[in-house]
Structure 1
Amino acid sequence: MKKATPEVILFKKEHASRLLPSVSTDDNKASRGRSLILGGSHDYPGAGILAARGALRAGSGYVMLAQKDLVVSSLENPDFLVKDLRGSSLSDLNFDAVLIGPGFGVNDYTAELILELKTKNFPNVVLDADALTTCVDFKLFPLPASWIVTPHTGELARCLKVSVHEVTKDRLAAIKKARQLFQCVVLLKGHGTLITQGQEIFRIASGNAALAKSGTGDVLAGMITAFRAQGLKPLEAALLGAYVHGATANLWVQSHKDALSMIASDVIDSIPRILWRLRQG
């Protein structure tokens, strides 16, 4: 891979193509992976839906959106399963990878779920949004090495206890500090998304300002969860998810649509085209 700087490796289309999950005539919905989305709440019902739809578009055979007090309807969202967690526990659910955080709330319950997954050494976990703030408030760092965190600049600043300006002015230094804190795969969202597992830092060669819209990060987190559920390694899932996510924004502007107008649902709708392009090599 070409190095963007002496410290950073540029991750491009040809690299993403090699990571794409294979498609076989022997596939069934179980073999495509089961993704559990712990997201959404009364205050932010859409976040979990966007993440679940992102996971579906990224190929997960089963997607379940689970909440403590269910605020979404299966009639309005027939493509994925919904589950009310009242009276249930994670051990009652069947899943290969789990996302915690988008719109889920910063509270004791979120902390309990994260701690449960840590205690049980469940390997395929993605933490985003409220889950990251929960880790700060409840002092849950460090995390297992196989987990993935997906902070934006503001969230990372909160985790590192520094200003947003300090993260923005030196993103390389920030992601190195984040890796020391989290001890897992770190994906720093923003212009020139950066990803590291410790030894190397990758910059994603896709994406533009069209992604600067609420909800797009929820879609990304769902996509990464789906790739983990399908068997990709943590770093691979983060790299592929980030590249595809960025490529949807490139496709948007290439289709003569203004960067200001893209919304999270447009990202979801663009995923099939990007995956098709990658599979064609």
Structure 2
Amino acid sequence: MKLLGLSHIKEADRLTLINQNISYLDLMERAGIAVFETIHNRLQGAQVPIHIFCGLGNNGGDGLVVARYLVTHGYNVTTYIVNFSKNRSEAFLVNYDRLKEVDEEWPVQLKNDDNLPAIAANEMVIDAMFGIGLNRSMLPWVKKLIIHINASKAFVLSIDVPSGLYAEKSPDDKESVIYANVCLTFQAPKLVFFLPETAKYAQDVDVIEIGLDTQYLNDVETQMSLILKNDLLGFYNPRGKFSHKGTYGHALLIGGSKGKIGSMLLASKACLRVGAGLASALIPECGYFTLQVGVPEVMVITNKNTDYLEDFQFEMKPSVICIGMGLGLHPDTINTFAEFIKRNRNQLVIDADGLNILAANQELLKFIPEKSVLTPHVKELTRLVGSWKDDFDKIEKVKAFSKKYDSIVVIKGANSITVYHEEIFVNTSGNPGMATAGSGDVLAGMIAGLISQGYNALQATIFGVYLHGSAGDCGVEGFGYQALLASDIVENIGKAYLELFKQPEEQANA
């Protein structure tokens, strides 16, 4: 599913008016009705007091349309106009007059913070103060109003975007943003709803259809995608009846050191569980029995050193190499890693200490093969690309890194983001229980296992990130967030595959 930026939304609006021969007022009416119907379907006429706060622009106009329909359907509504400026949009003025025609109580005019309305915790707030085009800081008294709404503990529903939240940068002032229980956003999701710094302002986001120009929405190239289950089915590769283990490649995993062999066990098992035909693990001698017993399906190659790897020699011809899990930072390991990177021509998935070595020796980055996959957590990412001022700046830095080294980078976390050059792919599976030791090792092994089977590196990464999250979702059903282990994620990879083909009604009954 495409994620729309501010420029895309404006163009979609413009073309809708032209191609459907309607006015902006007509489109606003359509949007307001869609919001009203969503609210009406949930409340079913319940007489909960509803406070609607409207700004002076088009988002405020949407709020006035919603207020009019709620009033005419018998709801207990009080509408407030937040007078932060002398300017009003034409559509706002028309809908203001329309509301006055049906509401015995005209909208309350708010001009300062002297008489902020009382809002009880068991009441509802509809936030229509500022839309997605916001580009300025809040006036002090408007900030106090927002703080007042947030402190009320009322149920808050925002229209299109929580007021105070910018479309394409993080907030200047975190206290000046509405915390919405639900945000009803128009036509398509926006990136701002999926980033760590800004997702918290909308606990739940529902996309509502308002009939924007279909041709434009189908054709526009946004370079931003939200990855849903159906997006993966297009390149899922089913197994052939007469295939064999050699059909699905031979993955080599390199890593491990004394006390960190478990990371290689997790990665190796995940690699096989996701479907690699064969997997070999190159580890120091101390991990031999652990891996042979823990994953009997993996072939083990040991280094002559007992505690750490000092030689990456192997005779096989792997389909892909996954390197770095539990590798450690012994000087001999760093030196042999550098030698390996310079001579290697195999497809790479690089994780953990492999990334740390590259970050500390960035002259080695020029030797990584094209479309290598890097899977850093936040601290490893900082070491690779430097610090950033906000999440949007972080993405830009990762894009620049990806283009410079022709690499695929996974920004791990909630809604993990896969970046390749200018393209970003936002994941939708996963849960907080996956914030546990070894989860990243499992992901690296899964991506390697998918590449081994013949998926190209970008497909394997997008698919691997989604399956990893979905396996975590399957696992958490039996354990809860706190008790989920990385090994549980591995054990649920098969269920994650099966979930791809479940119909919605099957998932609801599961």
- Residue 25 of structure 1 and its aligned partner are, at CA, apart by 1.4
SS of structure 1 residue aligned to 2:398: helix
1:276 aligns with 2:498: yes
Which deviates more, 16-25 or 56-65?
16-25
Name the counterpart of 1:237: 460
SS of structure 2 residue aligned to 1:126: strand
Whole-angstrom distance in 1 between the partners of 2:354 and 2:259: 15
- Residue 170 of structure 1 and its aligned partner are, at CA, apart by 4.7
User: 1:241-264, CA deviations, whole angstroms, 9 ceiling, x for partnerless residues?
Assistant: 0000111222234x2642111110
1:109 aligns with 2:327: no
- Residue 113 of structure 1 and its aligned partner are, at CA, apart by 3.9
Question: Structure 1 vs Structure 2: percent identity of aligned residues?
Answer: 26
Match of 2:245 among 1, 22, 29: 29
Which deviates more, 9-18 or 66-75?
66-75
Structure 2: segments with no counterpart, 5+ residues: 4-189, 192-221, 306-310, 504-510
1:86 aligns with 2:319: no
- Residue 265 of structure 1 and its aligned partner are, at CA, apart by 0.6
Structure having the higher Rg:
2
Whole-angstrom distance in 2 between the partners of 1:173 and 1:119: 30
Whole-angstrom distance in 2 between the partners of 1:118 and 1:276: 40
SS of structure 2 residue aligned to 1:9: strand
Name the counterpart of 2:102: none
**TM-score, with structure 1 as normaliser:** 0.89
SS of structure 2 residue aligned to 1:187: strand
SS of structure 1 residue aligned to 2:252: strand
1:72 aligns with 2:291: no
Aligned pairs for 1:179-190 within 5 A:
179-180=402-403, 182-190=405-413
**TM-score, with structure 2 as normaliser:** 0.51
Name the counterpart of 1:151: 376
- Residue 161 of structure 1 and its aligned partner are, at CA, apart by 3.3
Q: Larger relative CO (CA 8 A, sep 6+): 1 or 2? A: 1
Structure 1: segments with no counterpart, 5+ residues: none
Name the counterpart of 2:430: 207
1:221 aligns with 2:437: no
Name the counterpart of 1:17: 233
SS of structure 1 residue aligned to 2:287: coil
SS of structure 1 residue aligned to 2:238: coil
1:265 aligns with 2:481: no
Whole-angstrom distance in 1 between the partners of 2:371 and 2:230: 25
Number of equivalenced pairs: 277
Whole-angstrom distance in 1 between the partners of 2:252 and 2:352: 16
- Residue 110 of structure 1 and its aligned partner are, at CA, apart by 4.6
Whole-angstrom distance in 2 between the partners of 1:174 and 1:228: 26
SS of structure 2 residue aligned to 1:202: strand
Name the counterpart of 1:126: 349
- Residue 21 of structure 1 and its aligned partner are, at CA, apart by 2.8
Residues 196, 235 of structure 1: 8 Å contact kept: no
Residues 36, 64 of structure 1: 8 Å contact kept: yes
Whole-angstrom distance in 2 between the partners of 1:121 and 1:65: 18
SS of structure 2 residue aligned to 1:24: coil
Whole-angstrom distance in 2 between the partners of 1:29 and 1:111: 34
Residues 403, 420 of structure 2: 8 Å contact kept: no
Residues 111, 135 of structure 1: 8 Å contact kept: no
| Cα 1:152/1:43, change in 2 over 3 Å | same
Whole-angstrom distance in 2 between the partners of 1:256 and 1:50: 20
